[in-house]
Structure 1
Amino acid sequence: MESTVVKHRDRQSRNSWVAAVETEDREILRAARELLAQASETVDVVLAAEAAHARVIHSVLSEWLTEEGITVRTRMLCAQSTLDWQFVQRHTGDGQPLEVRVARIPLLAALIADGRSALVCADSAVGRRASAIRDPGVIETLQTLFDGIWRNALQVTERIDFGDRARTDMVRPILEWLRLGVTDEVAARELSVSVRTYRRYVAEIMALLGANSRFQAGVRAAELGLLPIAPSQEPPQLRR
């Protein structure tokens, strides 16, 4: 029995492991490039880390996605603070394999290739840490967490464009009022427009955000960085 247990442990040690990676940018780039080079079916990315990690991951992904013949399905989960609109516009649409969504996720940067190997970078109490992971159990847990967040995350396809500066300035209070449930009559009065015109603005905003309700439009606007995530205590600029 003891011999069987020893053999089992040895077999697990050979087949699954977690290796530390130096946290300098060049080492993270090297490890990320090696991981992406092995991917043949899927690459899942979590990008909610501090700015240094985010820059490195954006850089290596941009380099990889511009290689000729890349068809690997690539999903990226971003936090609001790490959503790079230029990156999204450059690498999504027109048959490109990248899809980007925004969600509220912990500080973390990770790449998962084919559900079999991963590179994870995170901050800890003792500084930056990075690990190359091939342990099936750890990978399965990471993949399950990713898939669960992905299902409920907000899809990002292109920058939300409300037109000129004046129109954009008008849209922001409308979004806040939608989130706070201000009546159409009150909001229209604040904008000095008719209720019918205000409702037309609301319909256009909901269509741009892909929202099914007014409250959802406000929440999505916050997640995309168009509004602060924490709602104000009262509607903006309402006249007493």
Structure 2
Amino acid sequence: MTGDQVIRVRGEAELVARAGHLFGTVGSEFLCAANDMSTWSRPNDRAAVAQRMGASLAEGVTVRKLYTPTALTDEAGRHHLFEVAAVGALVRVCASPLPHETIVIDRRVMILADPVPTRDRGFTVTSSPSLIEGVCSLLDAVWQASDPLDVYLRRDRPRIDADQRKILRALAEGLTDETAARRLGVSLRTYRRRVAELLASLESASRFQAGARAGELGLTR
């Protein structure tokens, strides 16, 4: 794209067809901002995204990813963020919804997602310097006020001791209470009491909810 070009596309298929080549032109900086994982990284594509990101980072590209806490409520989404952070991407979590769900490439091309519609989502692809500068100014301010992923996960994290971590692993593996109690070397009654205490610590009403909450806080890693 050149000049102040602005194009509108409808749906992900058209976005990929008309703008997909832009992702191979990143020279120095790639910024992705989204409220959750569904806008820019479809589940089946996340492994490929992480692989491409690792290659870009190896070439010296700065990769920044900005999400809201909603992105951490899904186990696959959390895994993707941990994966891209592990290869060197800068990942931050902001407290409030983002003003724009956006991808910016080298501050010369921007893809702006429409609010979620009832039908195929619309996208604006632009190389307009004034539009890009305006959105980037907003996103830069949100970025500075947001927590790095590891800091966000540590903040207000419940205190979980070694025995409770073993219980979390047992719950994640789907062990029966009897099997888990034998593994931990405690009575069935003691095990169930400790499970109840763990649920209380995680402010969870069920074992499933406790597992999700522990994953969100990074306690299962």
| Aligned amino acid, residue 6 of structure 2 | V
- Cα contact 2:67–2:92 (8 A) shared by 1: yes
Residues in 2 aligned to 1:27 and 1:70: alpha-carbon distance in whole angstroms: 29
- CA deviation profile, 1:193-230 (whole Å, cap 9, x unmatched): xxxxxxxxxxxxxxxxxxxxxxxxxxxxx9x955xxxx
C-alpha distance 58-46 of structure 1, shift in aligned 2 (>3 A): farther
Residues in 2 aligned to 1:88 and 1:50: alpha-carbon distance in whole angstroms: 9
- CA deviation profile, 1:83-107 (whole Å, cap 9, x unmatched): 32111221213xx331111111247
| Aligned amino acid, residue 113 of structure 2 | C
Pick one of 56, 78, 82 that aligns with 2:71.
82
Identical columns (%):
14
Pick one of 86, 89, 112 that aligns with 1:120.
112
1:92 equivalent to 2:85? Answer yes
Using the TM superposition, give the Cα deviation of residue 153 of structure 1 relative to its aligned residue in structure 2, in angstroms. Answer: 0.7
| Aligned amino acid, residue 42 of structure 1 | E
- CA deviation profile, 1:132-158 (whole Å, cap 9, x unmatched): 110000000111011000001121039
Q: How many residues matched?
A: 162
Pick one of 2, 5, 8 that aligns with 1:20.
8
- Cα contact 1:32–1:60 (8 A) shared by 2: no
Residues in 1 aligned to 2:35 and 2:126: alpha-carbon distance in whole angstroms: 19
Name 1:44's counterpart in structure 2.
31
Instruction: Give structure 1 stretches of 5+ with no counterpart.
Output: 1-13, 174-221, 227-240
Pick one of 187, 201, 208 that aligns with 1:171.
201
Using the TM superposition, give the Cα deviation of residue 73 of structure 1 relative to its aligned residue in structure 2, in angstroms. Answer: 0.6
| Aligned amino acid, residue 9 of structure 2 | V
- CA deviation profile, 1:47-82 (whole Å, cap 9, x unmatched): 115835552785663352143744311111111112
- List aligned pairs for 1:137-176, cutoff 5 A: 137-157=130-150, 162=160, 163=165, 164-165=167-168, 166=195, 168-173=198-203
C-alpha distance 31-152 of structure 1, shift in aligned 2 (>3 A): farther
Name 1:211's counterpart in structure 2.
none
Using the TM superposition, give the Cα deviation of residue 45 of structure 1 relative to its aligned residue in structure 2, in angstroms. Answer: 0.7
- Cα contact 1:110–1:119 (8 A) shared by 2: yes
Name 1:237's counterpart in structure 2.
none
Residues in 2 aligned to 1:142 and 1:117: alpha-carbon distance in whole angstroms: 12
Residues in 2 aligned to 1:108 and 1:60: alpha-carbon distance in whole angstroms: 24
Partner of 1:67, secondary structure, is helix
Indicate the RMSD between aligned Cα atoms, in angstroms.
3.5
Instruction: Give structure 2 stretches of 5+ with no counterpart.
Output: 169-194, 204-212
Name 1:132's counterpart in structure 2.
125
Bigger Cα displacement from structure 2, 162-171 vs 111-120: 162-171
Residues in 1 aligned to 2:79 and 2:118: alpha-carbon distance in whole angstroms: 33
Bigger-Rg structure (1/2): 1
Using the TM superposition, give the Cα deviation of residue 115 of structure 1 relative to its aligned residue in structure 2, in angstroms. Answer: 1.1
- Cα contact 2:33–2:101 (8 A) shared by 1: yes
C-alpha distance 73-115 of structure 1, shift in aligned 2 (>3 A): same
Using the TM superposition, give the Cα deviation of residue 121 of structure 1 relative to its aligned residue in structure 2, in angstroms. Answer: 1.3
C-alpha distance 138-49 of structure 1, shift in aligned 2 (>3 A): farther
